[in-house]
Amino acid sequence: MRYTQFRELMEGEFGAARAASIAHDHVLASLGGRTVEQALADGVDTREVWLAVCAAYDVPPARR
Q: How does pLDDT run across 7-51, given as a tens digit for each residue?
A: 999 999 999 999 999 999 999 999 999 999 999 999 999 999 999
pLDDT at 49: 98
Contact by Cβ (8 Å): 63, 8: no
pLDDT confidence of residue 36: 98
State the Cα–Cα distance between residues 52 and 21, nearest whole angstrom. 16
Compute the mean pLDDT over every residue in the chain, rounded to the nearest whole number: 97
